[in-house]
Every structure is written in C-alpha cells, then in structure tokens.
Amino acid sequence: MAKLSRKERHRLLLQRIKENPFITDEELAEEFGCSVQTIRLDRAILDIKEVRERIKEMAKESLGKLKTISPRDVVGEIIDIELENYAIATFEPQLWMTFSNSQMVKGQHIYAFAESVAMSVIDAKAALIGVANIKYKTPVFANDRLVARAELKKKRNNKYIVWVFIKRNSEEVFRGKFILVATDDENKENTGQECRTYEDRN
C-alpha cells in the first residue's frame, strides 16, 4: 500500500473500524503499513476506543435486547442483535477449556458458544434446542478470537431454524443448523421436540 496522508489514513481507519469493530491495532498497522504506535495515536486523535473497550460498549448496549436467554447465561459476549433476524457474538476460549495434551479447545465450549448465540436471536420467553446439525471444521486454541453470527432462516409456529457460523479472523471453524423450540406457556402443548445432536468433525 502506498504511503497514506494522515487525513486519508484517518478516513480509512474510521471506515475499517466501522466495518469490523473487532480489528486490532496490530492488524490495522499491518494493513496501513505503519507502526502500532501510529494507530494508537490516530485513535486518540479520533477518540476511538481500543478493541476490548469497543466490544464491551457494544455488548452493554445489546444485553438489554435479550429475551430468550439471560445475560448471565451467555457464553462470550453478544455485541449486536436484532431479534428474529441476526445476532453477533465474540468469545475467547481460555486455557482451562482445552485438552491438556493438545491445547485444543474442547468441542463442548464451542458448542455452548454457538448454542448461546442461536438462542439469543429468538424472540420468546424461553426456548431449547430440538435438533442440532453441527460441524467442527478446524481446531480452536486458547485465546483464539472467535466471532459468531446467528441468522434466523425460518420460523413456523413455535419452531425456529437458526444457522450459526463461527470464524477465527476470516477462517470458518464451526457451523451449525439449529432447530429451536419456543417453550412459552401457550406453546407447551406443541413442543414435541426430538433432542438430537449430530457431530461431523471431518
């Protein structure tokens, strides 16, 4: 990339952070061909918070929109949500979540993250997973920065079909199709869910 003027760099910096709130100072510095210190100075001039503060701020705004799942039950952080449409969440698995001999994150934690973001998109007092068709595509390690997007694809009566895609940077590490069943009082007689989980690690 040709050397940018400060004005042009500031314009692009604002644009990139708007497109991707998770982008780090290191990634921005590499993209713009400048030092991390320059990016930090630019953020200070433009009054842009660092990535963790940006995520916390977005998460705080999103928590009030949750209906099906309590904020304390969320795995990771919901940072953007539109009920009955989509939800976006971030998660950094910790070392204690890994297998001791390989340092790979146990599948149950990735699944819990996916389940959490899938449930968050539902506009119902309560719901549970009826069917899950999931695929782990590549290993995840402690402190990997994961971003999940849940999309509501179809709703019929008290059943919701939600797709969840989890990425590390631009690499997809997990995808799942969930059928959720709303269990509001008026729907209790119509749940009839069959609880199954399919895992395909190939």
DSSP per-residue letters across 91-135: E---GGGB-TTT-BBPHHHHHHHHHHHHHHT--SS-EEEEEEEEE
Does residue 141 carry a pLDDT above 80? Answer: yes
Over its C-alpha atoms, the chain yields an Rg (Å, rounded) of 19
Q: What was the pLDDT predicted at 197?
A: 46
Query: Which domains does the chain carry?
Result: 6-48 (1.10.10.10), 64-200 (3.10.129.10)
Fill in the DSSP letter of residue 186: G
- The kind and range of the H/E element at 52 are helix 51-63
Say which residue, 69 or 193, is predicted with more confidence. Answer: 69
Q: Which residue has the higher pLDDT, 68 or 175?
A: 175
pLDDT of 63 reads: 74
Question: Using one digit for the tens of pLDDT, what is the confidence trace for 78-100?
Answer: 988 889 999 999 999 999 999 99
Structure pTM?
Answer: 0.73
Residue 124 neighbours by CB under 8 Å, 6+ apart: 67, 68, 158, 182, 183, 184, 187
